[in-house]
């Protein structure tokens, strides 16, 4: 599990460790990890030109000490000080190693961003903006977090550094996982400092975690003990939503899929939606008892009635698309799967507000509706009503394709029917969805059906994880 700790949690753990270590030992650990990452990025040290942008905090000290190590390895290291107060020990170490202070640096091979640490406010001061303005196109290595991002919120508030690599210390922070700040981090390299950290509310599943949570059939299993998932999706206007929702549900993780069409789902001259579903998925059966429902995708005006009918069974229910408008607080064990626009409608705010603060928005919706909320996006956020969150880090940009959310809803429903609780079903389903898209894509374009077809092979691969 990749865990992300808040600034307060990190500071407390650092203070406890500092009390047991010789003075400066913790910063030296960080500096060695940072210097090694810079050399790896450069592909070597000797003769490389390194520019340190140094602020007043400990991140500036980390940058200066790392600069001293790089200078000893043959780099030409220059430092531009952006504050009258900098880490004195780090500055002395840099000078002893042959590093130079400059006001007007030349064009370096790499920039080390030590401007603002994890305790800084979002945004950059004008002098920092000016220093960065002439360095466009130069790779940037951020120390701990890109300067200017909201560390605990993952939000952006004005100018900020956009890093090609972020080297963080001790643990991940929410900004490393949650968009939009995560987009500014680039790849994140974690340097272990030996911190004793408490449990955290923000985490990201890894392949091994998903493998451990996946429901697997017992030796004496049959289709009913493995769980039955029902799908109420699609309409005459959107028959594809029914096919894709069923495709996600019929990935093999549940024992049976039932499809219940909306009343009057056929149009003159075209087969009823249920007939089209049976043609593509002959293993799918009709109405009956289920352990979970999937409702809403492509449901149109009938989605409210479909949700009401599903809720009468008092089983966990995935609520998507048109059905989201009809959700009421505390309606049952629900997993809501909105994109930013749909969540904005639920919260009665602008879409831009949700996109600017997905972590806060998902948490707010989960608390107000007393349901698990899976906010879909580049880094999907799954939130429980108590504020605990899992961020999905699997996936590919090619997953941004029509119908992929329908597949996701069906997949989450299958996991619910197979016995996972709503939080695990949503977060595991989101991870599988992203990983299956990556597998199906192979670096190229995909359509939603490709994701569903890739799920069995992905699950097989996880059995050996």
DSSP string, 375-424: E-STT-EEE-TTS-EEE-----GGG-STTHHHHHHHHHHHHHHTT--HHH
H or E stretch at 207: helix 207-213
Residue 432 has, within 13 A of its CA and on its CB side, a CA count of: 38
Does the pLDDT value for residue 30 go beyond 60? yes
First to last CA, the chain: 14
Confidence of residue 464 (pLDDT cuts 50, 70, 90): low
Does the pLDDT value for residue 352 go beyond 90? yes
Does the pLDDT value for residue 447 go beyond 80? yes
Structure tokens at 165: 């690599």
Phi/psi at 183 (5° precision): -65, -25
The mean pLDDT of the chain is 95
Q: Is 216 exposed, middle or buried (0-12, 13-18, 19+ CB in 10 A)?
A: exposed
Does the pLDDT value for residue 269 go beyond 70? no
What three-state secondary structure class fits 149? strand
Q: How far apart are CA 31 and CA 89, in angstroms?
A: 13
42-86: pLDDT as tens digits: 999 999 999 999 998 889 999 999 999 999 999 999 999 999 999
What three-state secondary structure class fits 333? coil
Average confidence (pLDDT) over 461-465? 77
Residue 185: CB atoms within 10 Å: 23
User: How, if at all, do strands 292-295 and 2-4 pair?
Assistant: unpaired
The residue ranking higher by pLDDT, 119 or 41, is 41
Confidence of residue 268 (pLDDT cuts 50, 70, 90): very low
Confidence of residue 263 (pLDDT cuts 50, 70, 90): low
Structure tokens at 314: 């008092």
Q: How far apart are CA 322 and CA 330, in angstroms?
A: 19
The full length of the chain comes to 465
Which domains, and CATH codes, for the chain? Answer: 2-204 (3.40.50.10260), 207-462 (3.40.1190.20)
- The mean-pLDDT minimum among 55-59, 97-101, 208-212 falls in 55-59
Does the pLDDT value for residue 134 go beyond 90? no
Does the pLDDT value for residue 440 go beyond 70? yes
211-237: pLDDT as tens digits: 999 999 999 999 999 999 999 999 988
Q: How far is CA 395 from each of CA 45, 343, 434, 435, 439, rounded to the nearest angstrom?
A: 34, 21, 4, 5, 9
User: Whose CA is closest to 199, among 375, 349, 335, 13?
Assistant: 13
The pLDDT value recorded for residue 413 is 98
Does the pLDDT value for residue 267 go beyond 80? no
- Residue 390 bridge partners (DSSP): 203, 382
Q: How far apart are CA 446 and CA 463, in angstroms?
A: 25
Average confidence (pLDDT) over 402-419? 98
- Evaluated on CA atoms 445, 447, 453, 458, the torsion sign reads positive
Residue 234: CB atoms within 10 Å: 30
Does the pLDDT value for residue 120 go beyond 90? no
CB-based contact 164:141 (threshold 8 Å): yes
Average confidence (pLDDT) over 9-24? 94
Q: Which residues of 425-451 are buried (b: 16+ CB within 10 A; e: fewer)?
A: bbbbbbbbbbbbbbbbbeeeebebbbb
What three-state secondary structure class fits 184? helix
CB-based contact 174:153 (threshold 8 Å): yes
CB-based contact 167:144 (threshold 8 Å): yes
Share of the chain above pLDDT 90, in %: 91
Q: How far apart are CA 160 and CA 187, in angstroms?
A: 17
Average confidence (pLDDT) over 299-313? 94
Please name the residues in contact with 352: beta carbons below 8 A apart, sequence gap of 6 or more. none
Structure tokens at 264: 């009057």
Confidence of residue 121 (pLDDT cuts 50, 70, 90): confident
Across 36-107, where does the E strand assignment appear?
49-54, 76-81, 100-101
150-202: pLDDT as tens digits: 999 999 999 999 999 999 999 999 999 999 999 999 999 999 999 999 999 99
Average confidence (pLDDT) over 137-142? 97
Report the predicted TM-score, pTM, of the whole model to 2 decimal places. Answer: 0.95
């Amino acid at each position: 599990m990749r865990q992300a700790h808040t600034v307060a949690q990190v500071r407390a753990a650092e203070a406890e460790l500092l009390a047991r270590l010789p003075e400066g030992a913790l910063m030296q650990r960080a500096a060695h990890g940072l210097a090694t990452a810079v050399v790896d990025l450069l592909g070597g040290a000797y003769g490389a030109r390194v520019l340190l942008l140094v602020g007043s905090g400990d991140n500036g000290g980390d940058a200066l000490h790392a600069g001293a190590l790089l200078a000893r390895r043959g780099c030409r290291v220059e430092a531009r000080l952006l504050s009258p107060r900098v880490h004195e020990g780090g500055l002395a170490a840099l000078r002893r190693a042959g590093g130079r202070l400059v006001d007007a640096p030349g064009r370096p091979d790499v920039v080390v961003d030590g401007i603002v640490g994890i305790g800084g406010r979002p945004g950059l001061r004008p002098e920092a903006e000016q220093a960065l303005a002439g360095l466009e196109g130069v790779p940037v290595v951020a120390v701990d977090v890109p300067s200017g991002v909201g560390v605990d919120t993952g939000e952006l508030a004005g100018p900020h550094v956009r890093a090609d690599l972020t080297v963080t210390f001790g643990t991940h922070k929410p900004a490393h996982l949650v968009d939009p700040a995560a987009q500014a981090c680039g790849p994140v390299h974690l340097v272990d400092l030996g911190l004793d950290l408490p449990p955290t509310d923000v985490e990201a599943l890894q392949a091994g975690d998903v493998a451990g949570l996946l429901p697997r059939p017992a030796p004496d299993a049959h289709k009913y003990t493995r769980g039955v998932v029902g799908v109420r999706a699609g309409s005459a206007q959107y028959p594809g939503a029914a096919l894709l929702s069923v495709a996600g549900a019929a990935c093999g993780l549940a024992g049976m899929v039932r499809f219940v069409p909306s009343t009057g789902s056929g149009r003159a001259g075209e087969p009823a939606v249920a007939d089209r579903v049976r043609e593509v998925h002959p293993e799918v059966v009709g109405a009956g008892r289920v352990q979970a429902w999937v409702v809403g995708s492509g449901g149109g005006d009938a989605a409210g009635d479909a949700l009401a009918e599903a809720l009468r069974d008092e089983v966990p229910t995935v609520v998507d698309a048109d059905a989201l408008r009809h959700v009421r607080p505390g309606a049952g064990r629900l997993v809501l799967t909105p994109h930013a626009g749909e969540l904005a409608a639920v919260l009665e705010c602008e879409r831009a507000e949700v996109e600017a603060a997905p972590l806060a928005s998902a948490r707010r919706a989960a608390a107000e509706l007393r349901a698990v909320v899976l906010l879909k996006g580049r880094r999907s956020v799954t939130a429980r009503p108590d504020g605990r969150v899992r961020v999905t880090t699997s996936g590919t940009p090619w997953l941004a394709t029509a119908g992929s959310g329908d597949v996701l809803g069906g997949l989450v429903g299958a996991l619910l029917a197979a016995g996972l609780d709503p939080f695990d079903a949503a977060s595991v389903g989101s991870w599988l969805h992203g990983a299956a898209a990556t597998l199906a894509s192979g670096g190229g374009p995909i359509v939603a059906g490709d994701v569903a077809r890739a799920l069995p092979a992905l699950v097989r691969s996880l059995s050996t994880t």
